[in-house]
Amino acid sequence: MCFSAAANFVGSGVLGAVGVMTLTKVKHKRELLFASLPTLFAVHQFIEGFVWLGLDGRLSPEVTHKMGAAFVLYAQGLLPFLIPLAVLLFEPDRKSRQRMLPFLALGTGTTLYMLWALIAYPLDIFVKSHSIVYINEGTNNTALAVLYVVSTCGSLFFSKVRDMVIFGAANLAILLVVMAVKRYAFTSLWCAYAAAASVIILAYFWRSKLKRPFPYGDAIWG
C-alpha cells in the first residue's frame, strides 16, 4: 500500500470520527482508556502526516524529526503500557483483571526501556518503497520486538471480553503480515493497520451498550 501525507490526514479524520462515536458510548470511567484508543490512533496518524510533509521537503528537518520522534514515542514508548492497562481497567471482574497484571508489568518494563532507548540513541527517519522507516538502534532488536508483541497483544487474548480477543487477533495477524512483507517499515505500517482495526472497538461499544457498565464494585488488586 502506498502511504502519503494525504492518506494519513484522511485516515486520521475517519478515525477521529470513529473515536468520538466510541467515546459517546462510554458508561463508566474504567471504560474510558480503552474507548480512547481510536482517538489516540487518530492523533497518531495525524502526526505522521506531518512526517510525510517533512520528508517531502515541505517542513524543516528539525520539525520533521520532532514529528517523527512524537510518532515513535507513542508507537514504541507508550503502547506497550497503555494497552494492557486499558484492558485491565475494562475487565468485568477481579479474577480477569488479575490475569492482566503480568502483561501490565511486562508492558511497563518494555515501555521504560524503550523510553530510555529513544532518548539514548539517535532516530533515523526515511522513506523506502512508499513507507516511512523509523530506525532506533536501541529498540531495533528481535528480543524487544517479542516483548512488545506479548505486552500489546497478549492481554487482549486473555480478556474475558470476546471482542477484545478479536481485536487482539486482528492486530496479531496484521503484525505478522507486516513483519513478513515490510519488516523495515514495521512501526509505521503496523500502527496504520492497527488504527484501522480499532473500528472493532467501536463495534463492540455500540453492540454492548445494554450490557455495560460491568459491576466494578470489587478492587482491581485485591
Helices 79-90, 142-157: crossing angle, 10 deg rounding: 20
Give the H/E segment covering residue 132: strand 131-136
Q: Which of 18, 155, 144 is nearest to 98 (CA)?
A: 155
Q: Which domain holds residue 42?
A: 5-207
Domain count, the chain: 1
Considering the domain boundaries, does residue 217 fall inside one? no
- In this prediction, residue 220 carries a pLDDT of 53
pTM value is 0.88
- In this prediction, residue 211 carries a pLDDT of 85
- In this prediction, residue 1 carries a pLDDT of 40
How confident is the model over 155-175, as a mean pLDDT? 88
Considering the domain boundaries, does residue 215 fall inside one? no
Considering the domain boundaries, does residue 149 fall inside one? yes
How confident is the model over 35-49, as a mean pLDDT? 92
- In this prediction, residue 196 carries a pLDDT of 79
Considering the domain boundaries, does residue 222 fall inside one? no
Considering the domain boundaries, does residue 125 fall inside one? yes
Q: Is 26 helix (H, G, I), strand (E, B) or coil?
A: coil
Cis peptide before 80 (omega within 30 of 0): no
pLDDT digits 0-9 by tens, 106-143: 999 999 999 999 999 999 999 988 889 999 999 988 88
Considering the domain boundaries, does residue 186 fall inside one? yes
- Percent of the chain clearing pLDDT 70 (strictly above): 96
Give the H/E segment covering residue 203: helix 199-207
pLDDT digits 0-9 by tens, 186-206: 788 777 777 778 888 989 999
- Tally of CA atoms within 13 A in the half-sphere of 8 that contains its CB: 22
Which amino acid appears at position 17 of this protein?
Answer: A
Give the least confident one: 31-35, 48-52, 99-103, 172-176.
Answer: 172-176
The rounded mean pLDDT for the chain is 88
Residue 218 pLDDT greater than 80, yes or no: no
- In this prediction, residue 142 carries a pLDDT of 83
Is 51 or 3 the better-scoring residue by pLDDT? 51
Q: How confident is the model at residue 222 (pLDDT cuts 50, 70, 90)?
A: very low
Considering the domain boundaries, does residue 213 fall inside one? no
Considering the domain boundaries, does residue 220 fall inside one? no
